[in-house]
Every structure is written in C-alpha cells, then in structure tokens.
C-alpha cells in the first residue's frame, strides 16, 4: 500500500486530489493544509511520496528546505498553474522529482500525476532491491576469510581483499599492479608453501578460475591457509578481507537535473544498469567459486547459498534458502557449530572442521572458513562461511593412522623377541669364551658376541627414534652438568683406553629436554673414543656457556676431541641416516642421526666444525644448542 501526502491550503484542490487518486485501491491519501501539519505526518515515518502546491515552496518557510533540515527523504512532486520554465528548473534543482502543470482539465492532470507516482514508487523499490543484493554479494567477497586475488592475463594483480593483505603481509597499494609470481594452474587446487615471516612458512591451497573483470578476461585466485592440516598430513606420512569494488553511485548522480521527465527516467535507468553489472560481477565470482558458500542470518537461517554448496549437499539452492542451517549439520558437529555461531557473534573469524549431512543421509566432511557479518550499527547480522570437502583426505588420514599403529605394534613385538633371544645368545657365547682354550676360537666367539651387541644397540636406537616423536616424552628441566659429570666418570673408568674428559661449565646449566638428552652426549663422547687414533690418549674438552638468540636463552655445548677429525665433504652428510665416515670402528651410522633428531625435537641445533679452523685433521668440534630452562 502506497501512502500519499497532499499538501495544499486550497480545500478544493485537496478534494479533487483525494477523489482522483483514491480510485486506485493501492494508494492511501493523507491531506494537510500546511507545511507544519504535514511535518506531523512525516515524523511518523510512513509517508511514501509528497504531492504539494508550488506556492508552499515560496515564502519564509519553503517546503524543500524544511524537509532537508528535518532529514526527511521522501520524493516530492510539485504542481502549479501556468508556471514559467524558470520556476520548473528551480523546483527540480531544489530536489523535487517532477513539476506537474495544472493548465488543463484537473482530471487529466491528476491521472498523469497517478502515473508519475506509480513510476517513482516502482523505481525506488527497484533501487532498494538492487542495493540490498549488491550489499550481500559484496559481503561474500569483502568479508571472506580466504585471500582472493584478481589477475589479468599476464599475471599482474588487479585486486586483493583484506585477507590477501594479511596473508602476504603487504598493503593493497603495495600489491596492485605487481606480478603475482605463482604459476597459473586452472581448476585443480595447488598446494604450496609461502614465506610469511622470517623463516616461517605457511602452507596454502590455491585455486584459480577464469572470470571477466571490468570487461576483460582475468583470473580469480582464492588462497586458503591450510597449514594446520598440512602439518598433520606431514606428521602422518613420515611415520587463506576483501575483494572489494566500491560501487559509488551518489544521490547527486541519480538526481541530475533534466528539463524533461524522460531525460530523468533515462538517467535512472543508466544507474540501474550499473547496479546490475556490479551484481553480475559479484554473482559470477560466487557462482564460479570452487568452494561451497552460504550466508546465514542472525537466527541461523540460510539467506544465500551458491550452486557449489547446494550440489555438495545434494539439494537445489531453492530447497535450501530459508531453511535452518542446523538441519544440514551432522549430529556429530551440531554442538560445535552452535559454539562457533556464538564466536561469530563476538566478531571472531576462524577455520575449523565441520561435518555436514547430505540429502541421502551420508556424512560430508569439510573445512569451514567463517566470518561474521556486522550491520551498519555494529551489530551481528549473520555470518558468511566457505566449505571445502575433505572427506577423501580424512579417510586417508584414518587409514594412515591405522597402518602406522600396526607397524609400530609389529616393531615392538619384533624388538622385544629379538632382544630377548640376543641376550640369551650373548650369555651362551660369553660362557663359551670362558671355556674355550684355543685363542683363535675365542677371537671368533668374541666377534660373534660383538655382532649380537651391535644388533641390541640397533634395536635400542630404533626404540629411541620412536620415543623421540614430539609429545611422546614430556619436556622438563634437566641438569645437563650432572649428566656430563656422570658420562665423564663412566668413560674415564672404562677399559676402552686412556680417556681424559675436561668439563668447563657454569654452576647453572639447566636445559628444557627429557631423559633422552643423555643419549646426545653419550653418542658424541662415545664417537670420540671409538674413532680415536690407535695408541693415542683420548682428550675430550667439553665447554658450556649461555647465549641468547631471538630473545630466547640457550645453552651452547661444545664437545671437541684430538682425534682424526671429519673431512669437509662429510660434514654436511654425517647427521644423515646410515652415514658413516672412513673408520675401523663398528657402527651402523644411526648415532649422529639420533643426535640430530633429539636436538631438533628439543628445539635446538647441532653442527660439526674443525677443532682447529681450516685443519680437519686436528680433531672435530660438535656444537649443540639447547633451550635453557
């Protein structure tokens, strides 16, 4: 129902207006004899259009100025008898929609007025509908939690949203016009690593599709931060606001003064075409996206859903719009989704796992990137979410976990049984050595005993590598000086030869580690003893001091010896699995690999250098860096 306010101090004109206009049942007529009386109606806020005598625009209290001072935005049509062109132009310039001449028959004039009112109301409603649609589509792009970038055909950046600025740690002005720098791979998702900060890489999934941007063929790139999932995949296999286009069509651009009605109508039509083009661009981006997208309102009702998500759920978009979003959340994720909606109301955007339920009842495993939608008053008005199907990835992860657990079970069983058999065998061989009278036979038995001991050490090393997994052993404060003193006593009292170990350490040398830290220095000291020059007394110097790096305190431990040293070509390889130097000592090349694995797990570093710089033959120095407690 359209409510029309007629303002005229001539009762006859008011009666004629009410008579002719009220013939249309869709119009309700309200009349006022003065501007002051009209303001009392307008303050209630339910007037759709004003029809007023031009005489009310003349004098000390002109109608248009009064409306503008009161912040009332209602279309106004003036009428008058025998106006000149200057009066009409001044009226339109003051903000009126139209000036109606009452030079002829009143009935014909009011019928023309009714047609004008219908056209103005239809046009305003179309404008409001288009603006609302543009607002919704803009929210999808500008509030997107994923980075979105538009490239031209040569790979140069034409647009970025705030999420892309955050992902690349660059301002929009620093990115526009720059070469994107990544390969263009259409349709298929590409996983890669991006340098986010100093020595910090993040894993992203990048998708590209062909779009039309500002009338030119372009590429739309969506980039999602999948670091958490990639880290999870790597661990199991070893055992990404604002794409923004400002559509600015000011009220002045929609109200250009024109001397004729048709010129005004054509101007409005041009504005409508611009809004439709903007809507088409945003809609194209959303409908071509490879992720499922929906917008829900503050009551969790689906307000918009793109074809991709509808297809993922097995419905048409029409079946989903207007439905409660929880109806499509699997029961295993429903409580978590309610909690997530509460976090959207707090203004939090995030990514998380969410299980959906398809039309056929089957589960759809997804990653969700969700962001809140805030209205003009700063209040929560719903949320935007993008869904990526990871059902196959989740199945692969579960299968890999099961296979890994099975392999570890076999390893535990085999290690236990083999170690027991080895202990029995070593016992018999030691007894045989004691009973053997022939020296050659004792040498052969001793070699067999050494082989069994090597096999036991290999089993121990494998178990240490298993325990070294992050989180397997609890990290605590460990007294490193005590460990070094115990190792000194052990090796100096052994029968392996003339061994001297010198320790220079502060009184406080606590590190953040666990009991396996002993194996690091037992391996290093043991290697110095095993690989010493024959007939030469072994001298091992151990120095401990405190250093700071990146604002964190560390202990630096240097273990150096007077042995044959390590050639330069071997320094980069010696910490690799099964790498051994040219030596007569027995070993499988696992010792230093275990050292590197343990140090990495404790958050430290280890490397080897010459004891005498530039002369590898005068001994080696191993440097270990561990976090101080």
Of the three residues 71, 92, 124, the one that is the final residue of a domain is 124
C-alpha 317/C-alpha 310 separation (Å) is: 5
% residues pLDDT > 90 (the chain): 37
Alpha-carbon distance of 610 to 158, in angstroms, equals 53
Q: What is the predicted pLDDT for the residue at 588?
A: 46
Q: What percent of the chain has pLDDT over 70?
A: 83
pLDDT tier at 53, thresholds 50, 70, 90: confident
Instruction: Tokens 């339910």: give the residue.
Output: 46
DSSP annotation of 483: H
Q: Could you tell me if 400 and 514 lie in one domain?
A: no
pLDDT of residue 320: 95
Q: Is residue 264 part of a domain?
A: no
Q: Are 483 and 598 in a shared domain?
A: yes
> Are β-strands 380-389 and 363-374 bridged in parallel, bridged antiparallel, or unpaired?
antiparallel
Nearest 5°: the CA angle 157, 161, 162 is 125
What is the 3 state secondary structure string of 540-552?
EEEEEEEEEECCE
Task: Tell me the longest C-alpha to C-alpha distance in the chain.
Answer: 143
The secondary element (H helix, E strand) that includes residue 394 is helix 391-435
- Same domain? For 152 and 43 the reply is no
* 288 has pLDDT over 70: no
pTM score of the predicted model = 0.35
More confident residue, 412 or 612: 612
Q: Tell which of 435, 467, 499 closes a domain.
A: 467
Distance between start and end Cα atoms, the chain: 76
Q: Say what the pLDDT of residue 462 is.
A: 63
138 domain-assigned: no
Tell me, yes or no, whether 614 lies in a domain.
yes
Domain assignment of residue 11, yes or no: yes
**Count of Cβ atoms closer than 10 Å to residue 205 Cβ:** 20
User: Does residue 285 belong to any structural domain of this protein?
Assistant: no
Rounded mean pLDDT of the chain? 83
d(CA 560, CA 564): 11
Between 617 and 591, the higher pLDDT residue:
617
Q: What is the pLDDT, as a whole number, of residue 405?
A: 67
CA 33 to chain centre: 62
Which tens digit of pLDDT belongs to each residue from 447-498? 787 677 766 766 765 666 565 554 455 789 999 999 999 999 988 887 666 8
Residue 586 has pLDDT above 50, yes or no: no
The mean per-residue pLDDT over the stretch 326-341 comes to 94
B/e letters for 363-385, b = 16+ CB within 10 Å, e = fewer, are ebbbbbbbbbbbeeeeebbbbbb
Same domain? 622 vs 480: yes
Over the stretch 172-214, which tens digit does the pLDDT of each residue have? 899 999 998 888 888 788 888 877 655 677 888 889 999 998 8
For residue 279, being part of any structural domain is answered with no
Pick 161 or 427 by higher pLDDT: 161
Query: What tokens appear for 213 in the block?
Result: 């941007």
State whether 319 and 440 are in the same domain: no
Half-sphere exposure of 403 (CA within 13 A, CB side): 10
Asked if residue 77 lies in contact with residue 97, where contact means CB atoms within 8 angstroms, the answer is yes
The neighbour count for residue 231, using CB atoms within 10 Å, is 12
- Which helix (H) or strand (E) segment holds residue 36: the answer is helix 35-42
Average pLDDT over residues 606-616: 94
- For residue 484, the cross-strand partners are none
* Confidence category of residue 513, pLDDT binned at 50, 70, 90: very high
Please give the Cα distance from 562 to 62 (Å, whole number).
104
Domain with 85 in it: 2-124
Helix (H, G, I), strand (E, B) or coil at 471: coil
Q: Is 79 exposed, middle or buried (0-12, 13-18, 19+ CB in 10 A)?
A: buried
Q: Given a cut of 70, is residue 168 above it in pLDDT?
A: yes
Residues 328 and 457 in one domain: no
pLDDT band at 216 (very low <50, low <70, confident <90, very high): very high
52 and 67 inside one domain? yes
Average pLDDT over residues 245-251: 55
Q: What is the mean pLDDT of residues 83-92?
A: 84
SS3 readout for 315-367: CCHHHHCCCEHHHHECCCCHHHHHHHHHHHHCCCCEEEEEEEECCCCCEEEEE
pLDDT on residue 416: 61
Say which CATH number the domain at 224 has: 3.30.450.20
Cα 389-393-397 angle, rounded to 5 deg: 145
| Minimum mean pLDDT range among 66-80, 241-255, 493-507 | 241-255
Rounding to the nearest 10 degrees, give the CA dihedral for residues 269, 272, 277, 282: 180
Statement: residue 38 has pLDDT above 50:
yes
Of the candidate ranges 40-54, 223-237, 470-484, the one whose mean pLDDT is the lowest: 223-237
pLDDT > 80? residue 296: yes
Structure tokens, 613: 């710089």
The pLDDT score that the predictor gives to residue 72 is: 81
Across 99-123, b (16+ Cβ under 10 Å) vs e yields: bbebeeeeeebbebbbebbebbbeb
Better-predicted residue by pLDDT, 590 or 83? 83
pLDDT of residue 240: 46
User: What pLDDT, on a 0 to 100 scale, did the predictor assign at position 544?
Assistant: 96
Q: What are phi and psi of 61, to 5 degrees?
A: -130, 65
Same domain, yes or no, for 61 and 104?
Answer: yes
> Which of 293-307, 440-454, 536-550 shows the lowest mean pLDDT across its residues?
440-454
Same domain, 308 and 233: no
Shared domain for 92 and 217, answered yes or no, is: no
Is the pLDDT assigned to residue 64 strictly greater than 70? yes
More confident call, 411 vs 45:
45
- In this structure, the answer to whether residues 481 and 619 fall within a common structural domain is yes
Q: What is the CATH number of the domain that holds 9?
A: 3.40.50.2300
Who contacts 107 (Cβ-Cβ below 8 Å, separation ≥6)? 20
Residue 593, domain CATH: 3.30.565.10
Residues 488 and 604 in one domain: yes
pLDDT of residue 108: 78
Q: At 292, is the pLDDT very low, low, confident or very high (cuts 50, 70, 90)?
A: very high
Give the pLDDT of residue 94.
85
Pick from 96, 207, 235: which is nearest to 149 by CA?
Answer: 207
Give pLDDT, residue 348: 94
The residue among 334, 361, 389 that closes a domain is: 389
More confident residue, 259 or 429: 429
Number of domains into which the chain is organized: 5
Q: What is the mean pLDDT of residues 384-404?
A: 84
CA distance linking residue 579 with residue 420, whole number of Å: 28
Check pLDDT > 90 for residue 507: no
3-state secondary structure string across 165-229: HHHHCCCHHHHCCCECCCCCCECCCEEEEEEEECCEEEEEEEEEEEEEECCEEEEEEEEEECHHH
pLDDT attached to residue 338: 94
CA distance 575 to 355: 44
Task: Using the predicted structure, report yes or no on whether residue 22 has a pLDDT greater than 60.
Answer: yes
Q: How far is it, in rounded angstroms, from Cα 330 to Cα 343? A: 19
Residue 92 lies in a domain: yes
- Averaged pLDDT for residues 556-579: 88
Contact (Cβ atoms closer than 8 angstroms) between residue 268 and residue 256: no
What tens digit of pLDDT does each residue of 517-531 get? Answer: 998 999 999 899 888
Residue 276 lies in a domain: no
């Amino acid at each position: 129902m359209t409510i029309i306010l007629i303002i005229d101090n001539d009762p006859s004109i008011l009666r004629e207006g009410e008579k002719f206009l009220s013939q249309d049942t869709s119009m309700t007529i309200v009349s006022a004899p003065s501007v002051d009386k009209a303001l009392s109606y307008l303050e209630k806020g339910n007037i759709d259009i004003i029809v007023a005598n031009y005489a009310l625009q003349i004098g000390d209290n002109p109608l248009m100025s009064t409306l503008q001072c009161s912040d009332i935005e209602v279309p106004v049509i003036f009428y008058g008898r025998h106006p000149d062109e200057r009066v009409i132009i001044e009226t339109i310039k003051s903000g009126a929609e139209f000036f109606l001449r009452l030079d002829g028959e009143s009935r014909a004039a009011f019928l023309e007025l009714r047609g004008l009112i219908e056209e103005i109301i239809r046009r305003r409603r179309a404008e409001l509908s288009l603006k609302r649609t543009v607002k919704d589509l803009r929210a999808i792009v500008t509030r997107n939690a994923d980075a979105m970038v538009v490239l031209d055909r040569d790979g140069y950046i034409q647009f970025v949203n705030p999420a892309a600025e955050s992902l690349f740690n660059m301002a929009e002005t620093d990115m526009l016009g720059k070469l994107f720098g990544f390969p263009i791979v259409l349709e298929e998702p590409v996983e890669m690593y991006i340098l986010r900060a100093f020595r910090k890489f993040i894993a992203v999934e990048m998708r590209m599709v062909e779009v039309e941007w500002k009338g030119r063929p372009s590429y739309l790139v969506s980039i999602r931060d999948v670091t958490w999932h990639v880290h999870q995949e790597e661990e199991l296999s070893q055992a990404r606001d604002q794409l923004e286009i400002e559509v600015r069509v000011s009220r002045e651009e929609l109200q250009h003064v024109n001397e004729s009605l048709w010129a005004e109508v054509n101007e409005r039509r041009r504005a409508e075409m611009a809004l439709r083009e903007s809507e088409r661009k945003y809609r194209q981006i959303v409908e071509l996206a490879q992720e499922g997208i929906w917008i829900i309102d503050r009551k969790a009702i689906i307000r918009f859903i793109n074809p991709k998500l509808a297809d993922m759920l097995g419905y048409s978009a029409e079946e989903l719009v207007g439905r409660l979003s929880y109806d499509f959340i699997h029961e295993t994720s429903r409580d978590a989704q309610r909690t997530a909606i509460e976090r959207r109301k707090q203004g939090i955007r995030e990514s998380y796992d969410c299980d959906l339920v398809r039309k056929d009842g089957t589960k759809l495993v997804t990653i969700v990137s969700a962001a809140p939608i805030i209205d003009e008053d700063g209040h929560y008005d719903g949320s935007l979410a993008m869904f990526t199907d990871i059902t196959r990835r989740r199945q692969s992860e579960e299968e890999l976990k099961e296979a890994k657990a099975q392999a570890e079970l076999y390893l535990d069983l085999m290690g236990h049984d083999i170690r027991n058999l080895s202990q029995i065998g070593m016992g018999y061989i030691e007894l045989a050595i004691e009973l053997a009278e022939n020296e050659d036979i004792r040498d052969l038995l001793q070699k067999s005993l050494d082989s069994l001991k090597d096999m036991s050490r290999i089993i121990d090393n494998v178990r240490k590598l298993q325990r070294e997994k992050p989180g397997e052993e609890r990290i605590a404060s460990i007294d490193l000086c005590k460990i070094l003193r115990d190792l000194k006593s052990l090796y100096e009292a052994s029968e392996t030869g003339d061994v001297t170990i010198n320790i220079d350490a502060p009184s406080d040398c606590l590190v953040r580690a666990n009991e396996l830290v002993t194996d690091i220095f037992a391996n290093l000291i043991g290697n110095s003893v095993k690989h010493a020059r024959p007939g030469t007394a072994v001298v091992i110097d151990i120095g401990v001091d405190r250093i700071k790096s990146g604002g964190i305190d560390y202990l630096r431990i240097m273990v150096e010896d007077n042995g044959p040293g390590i050639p330069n070509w071997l320094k980069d390889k010696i910490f690799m699995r099964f790498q051994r130097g040219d030596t007569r000592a027995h070993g499988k090349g696992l010792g230093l690999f275990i050292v590197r694995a343990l140090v990495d797990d404790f958050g430290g570093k280890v490397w080897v250098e010459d004891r005498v710089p530039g002369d590898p033959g005068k001994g080696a120095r191993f440097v270990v860096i561990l976090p101080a407690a």
